[in-house]
């Protein structure tokens, strides 16, 4: 995955499309949940890539870098389907 500002913006504003944490921003998912995906296998496609990036950012303690761009937005938050 090419890491650039667009990818970070996408991660900050994309919400989980299913499951217990549906509607929660991917970067705000609990680390144990992201680790579960890492052990079981991330979903295919863009969602899996973003979840993997979220895990990397969380495990390195870098989520504070996304706070300025993770401010709540209007209901138009992206959701991968």
> What's the pTM?
0.80
* pLDDT band with cut points at 50, 70 and 90 for residue 79: low
Asked if the model's pLDDT at residue 2 lies above 90, the reply is no
Return the exposure string of 37-57: e unless at least 16 CB atoms fall within 10 Å of the residue's CB, then b: beeeebbeeebebbbbbbbeb
Give residue limits of the domains in the chain: 5-70
Q: How far is it, in rounded angstroms, from Cα 39 to Cα 64?
A: 25
- The reported pLDDT for the residue numbered 62 is 85
Asked if the model's pLDDT at residue 71 lies above 90, the reply is no
Asked if the model's pLDDT at residue 7 lies above 70, the reply is yes
Q: Is 1 helix (H, G, I), strand (E, B) or coil?
A: coil
Q: Which residue has the higher pLDDT, 30 or 5?
A: 30
């Amino acid at each position: 995955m090419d890491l650039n500002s667009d990818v970070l913006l996408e991660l900050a504003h994309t919400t989980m499309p299913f499951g217990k944490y549906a509607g929660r921003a991917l970067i705000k998912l609990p680390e144990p949940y992201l680790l579960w995906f890492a052990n079981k296998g991330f979903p295919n496609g863009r969602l899996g890539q973003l979840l993997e990036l979220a895990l990397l950012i969380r495990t390195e303690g870098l989520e504070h870098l996304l706070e300025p761009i993770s401010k709540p937005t209007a209901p138009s938050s992206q959701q991968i389907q």
